[in-house]
Amino acid sequence: MIKYTFSLLFFMIGILLVQAEQLYVNPRTGNDTYSGTKVQPLKTILEAAKRVNLNKEPGATTIILSEGVHLLTQTVIFTNDKYTLKNRLVIRADVMPDDTDWTPQKMPVVVTAVPLESGIGGQEAKGIQPEVSHVSIEGLRFTGSPDYSYIDGTDLRRSYPIWRDGKSLDDLLISQCMFTGNADVLPLHVGVIANGYGLVIDHCVFFNCKIPVVFWKNDGGTSSRSAMRYSLVYGGYFCGVWTTQGTNGDDFDFHHNIIANTSTVWIREKGSKRRYKASDSIFAGYTKLTGYGSGPLSDSDATSTDFLEMKNVQTTGNVMIEKDQSKRNYLQLAEGSIGSNLKVGLFKKSQ
């Protein structure tokens, strides 16, 4: 009986270990031949994805990235669609913004230097591509592409740090991440662009991106279950948020956001009749409040604001950004800036 009990105990422990798959990635000390434990980390996110895709055992997976530069030289695709709302695929920083010892320098930096491939209307470089449901990406910093956006008048090059293609996929949470670009030398075309349902942007910062987020296409369902909340968009040189005909306004949750110094605040896909609500937010320093896309906007593309119902939304004022790299709130709201009461940015807990 005792022998049977111990056998059962070891069997259950084995199941728990399988269900709690955990892989560490450290670009400085890791090696892709290692086991992937904290003391023997992998070197690349790509190797972590390969191992995750091969593990068909049910259960959650957590990939933990150390501080340092994580260089992507090819698109990292996750294809093992075994996850559930409870047992998720999580890709996160080792030290998160709400941890007491966190500093901006401890954010893992993900650089997309992927060879361009032909896409719709130009060439594309995609970074992390979760082709599975129930995914969380947390606490990471993504940069723009080292390539140029425009080579000539027609050759458009797009950098997508996070991209999801599947139109029936659901539940992609991007939380406490920072996306930083520069229109001239490190262009970041779209920080997050995702087909499917349930794209949630939570406590993120988008600094000098062309477009922070595109809630893209789905398979024709009636609801997208998407959200954008507690996020800061600063210096968007095209728009602050882009919604399509598939982004159902009835359950699109947009609140406690700041979109500042941005060309156009909200773009609707051309032909869309969707209506949206925005609450408890600040839109400041913009050229146009709303517009239609695709492509560069002109005066004839401007649309009335009647599709956007705003409640407790401030549309004037000066949003200030902290530029001192030694400060904990670097590239977030500067002390004394308007909007501090909205609690936007990387921190979920009071600082």
Cα-based distances in Å from 18 to 22, 61, 152? 9, 9, 51
Do the strands 122-130 and 117-119 form a parallel or antiparallel pair, or are they unpaired? Answer: antiparallel
- What integer pLDDT is reported at residue 297 of this predicted model? 47
Residue count of the chain: 351
Global confidence as pTM: 0.92
Question: Which residues are 284's β-sheet partners?
Answer: 260
- What integer pLDDT is reported at residue 225 of this predicted model? 86
Strand (E) or helix (H) holding 10: helix 2-19
Instruction: Mention every residue, 6+ apart, whose C-beta is less than 8 A from residue 159.
Output: 112, 124, 125, 127, 144, 145, 147, 149, 181, 187, 188, 189, 190
- What integer pLDDT is reported at residue 96 of this predicted model? 98
- What integer pLDDT is reported at residue 351 of this predicted model? 63
Chunked into runs of 10 residues, the chain (351 residues) has average pLDDT values of 51 52 98 98 98 96 98 97 96 98 97 89 91 98 87 81 96 98 92 96 97 92 84 96 89 96 92 90 95 60 73 96 97 97 94 63
DSSP 3-state assignment of 91? strand
Cα-based distances in Å from 111 to 126, 144, 187? 11, 7, 12
**Cα dihedral 174, 175, 178, 183 sign:** positive
Cα-based distances in Å from 176 to 68, 138, 242, 269? 17, 6, 20, 27
- What integer pLDDT is reported at residue 291 of this predicted model? 87
Strand (E) or helix (H) holding 11: helix 2-19
Q: How far apart are CA 347 and CA 351, in angstroms?
A: 7
Question: Which residues are 21's β-sheet partners?
Answer: 61
Torsion over CA of 78, 221, 177 and 255, rounded to 10 degrees? -170
Would you say 72 and 49 are in contact if contact means Cβ atoms under 8 Å apart?
no
